[in-house]
Structure 1
Amino acid sequence: MKYIIIGLGHFGSSLAEKLTEKGNEVFGVDIKMERVEHIKDKITHAVNLDATDPAAVSNLPLRETDIVIIAIGEDKGANIMTTALMKRMHVKKLISRAVDPLQEMVLQAMGIEEIIHPEEETAERWSKKLNLHGVVDSFELNGDFSIIETKVPKEYEEKTLGELDFRDKYNLIVLTTMKISSQKNELGASHEITSVQGVANSETKLYENDIMVIYGNNKDIKNLLDDHEKLKDKL
């Protein structure tokens, strides 16, 4: 995967390093030269430029990049302007950072569906979420075991957990499921909210695009997610 991370403060630089360690190509960008110098030997590429300047940004490899992450935190104006510029340039996938509720509402109004809250979420958590296809969110219990959220694929529609038998097939436990619905914020922008459906059991029925909360060994989780990707490729 190829990433551009704009904003190399504490969160942005940590995320850039962790994604690089996982074998990804990471292009780091910051307006402060000292930040670029600090990280240039730890990630694939690092460049000093003003990401609110359309001419400067046009030199970035946007078309070849899978995900652009706006990690600017201290300058909310620069965050919004850079996000708007990336939207205008039609990058493949855009994730932006919010440091307060008002900024989050503005980003939602701009159509940003994935928003980072570094004060609540760690770079390690986001690096795992970005690096594993199909992960909505994750929480690592230790080096071997995690709890993850992943969307229910089409092939599981109206099947029960008993029928799918995750425990025997993947050595995983489905703890609960969650439904996704849409809600509007004060600016009238729609955003997703989730509602937990209670403790899962063998009779729990799954529906496409609901979320499963799964516990197990990281290797077993990866096997499940790889199988989900294979199912997508057949469509």
Structure 2
Amino acid sequence: MRRQFLVVGLGRFGVSLAALLEKMGGEVLAVDRRESAVMEVADLVTSSLIADTTEERVVKDLGVENFDEVVCAIGTDVEASLMTTLLLREFGARILISKASTEMHGRLLEKIGVDRVIYPERDMAARLARDFFAPPGIEELLDLSVQHKMFQIQAPVHFHERSLADLHLRARFGMNIIAIRRGEKTIVSPSAQETLHDGDGLVVVGDYDRAQEALKKPE
């Protein structure tokens, strides 16, 4: 059964999120009170609706409790964001994620009891800044916490023809290798005896900053 998503608020972030969730196999209901915004996303999602989610009756009729995840992507209209989030919570959202435009906005959303507050602009800026200073060959894939990420690196020269056991990456750099991409092949959960070769891509979960140290050629 396809996972069910409700996305409320169809600005640039909301439209992009709704379209991606649908593309990745989800079933998405996208909602906004602006007809133009709903028309933009209508062909990209399972269903769409023009509705004002600051009204109690409207949110009740959405059947919020039937969705696996609910995202309130209203950002700039703080009052509408807070009212919508409150109603989504009251009518039984299982997992509720809300977008915040400022720290104060985020704190108010936390008071309502959302499961997660997101700051898309701030988070993207932080990721871009890290990318600027990251050594060549490192690509961030997913934030897991403030410090820990999932990312991919190209095996540097000093990793070539050495086994994972020999490199001691977990003990030395906090790097857990969860997969190796080798050409068209992906080795999931590689053994400690797996030898790395030129061109290998390593999918890593761990400390992003310490991993950058691992890429530096030892003196």
Which bin holds the TM-score, normalised by the shorter protein?
0.5 to 0.7
Summarize deviations over 1:6-62 as a string: whole Å, max 9, x none: 001111011111111111101000011111112111111100011011111122132
Higher relative contact order (CA 8 A, sep 6+): 1
Q: How many residues align?
A: 156
Summarize deviations over 1:83-117 as a string: whole Å, max 9, x none: 11111112100001111111111112222241121
User: Given residue 142 of structure 2, which amino acid in structure 1 is its aligned partner?
Assistant: I
Partners of 2:100 and 2:118 within 8 A in 1: yes
Aligned to 1:112, the other structure's residue is in SS state coil
Summarize deviations over 1:98-144 as a string: whole Å, max 9, x none: 1111111111222224112122245xx9xxxxxxxxxxxxx9x9xx9
Quote the Cα distance in structure 2 between the aligned partners of 1:27 and 1:90. Answer: 16
Partners of 2:176 and 2:206 within 8 A in 1: no
Given the alignment of the two structures, is residue 42 of structure 1 paired with residue 44 of structure 2, yes or no? yes
Given the alignment of the two structures, is residue 118 of structure 1 paired with residue 154 of structure 2, yes or no? no
Identity %: 29
The equivalent residue for 2:73 is 71
Aligned to 1:173, the other structure's residue is in SS state strand
The equivalent residue for 2:99 is 97
Q: Residue 8 of structure 1: which of 7, 10, 30 is its match? A: 10
Task: Give the alignment's Cα RMSD to 1 decimal.
Answer: 3.3
Question: Which structure is higher in helix share?
Answer: 2
Task: Give TM-score, length-normalised by structure 2.
Answer: 0.61
Q: Residue 82 of structure 2: which of 73, 80, 83 is its match? A: 80
Given the alignment of the two structures, is residue 199 of structure 1 paired with residue 201 of structure 2, yes or no? no
Instruction: Report runs of 4+ in structure 1 exceeding 4 Å deviation.
Output: 149-152
Task: Give TM-score, length-normalised by structure 1.
Answer: 0.57
